[in-house]
């Protein structure tokens, strides 16, 4: 796996997350058809870019998009 593939996988995950739903890891894995390694790298990429956030609830951890708005 290289940076290009990680970036492409991050795009796949981002497109899934853009519905503003809070997704559980297993749901993301199933719908993205990425391996654990590929999905974790994509999540790391998006987290590093501050594009996603994590929510811990009673059912488990969820991943969702973060909307960053900069004015100025």
* Residue ranges of domains in the chain: 3-65
14: tokens are 């981002």
Residue 6 pLDDT > 70, yes or no?
yes
pTM of this structure = 0.82
Kindly tell me if the per-residue pLDDT of 70 is higher than 70: no
- What is the average pLDDT value for the chain, to the nearest integer? 85
Topology classification of domain 3-65:
Arc Repressor Mutant, subunit A (1.10.10)
The answer, yes or no, to whether residue 69 has pLDDT greater than 50, is: no
Distance CA(46)–CA(28), nearest Å, equals 14
């Amino acid at each position: 796996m290289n940076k290009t593939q990680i970036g492409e996988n991050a795009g796949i995950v981002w497109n899934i997350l853009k519905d503003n739903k809070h997704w559980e890891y297993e749901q993301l894995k199933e719908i993205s058809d990425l391996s654990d390694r590929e999905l974790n790298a994509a999540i790391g990429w998006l987290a590093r870019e501050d594009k996603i956030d994590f929510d811990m609830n009673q059912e488990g951890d969820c991943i969702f998009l973060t909307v960053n708005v900069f004015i100025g």
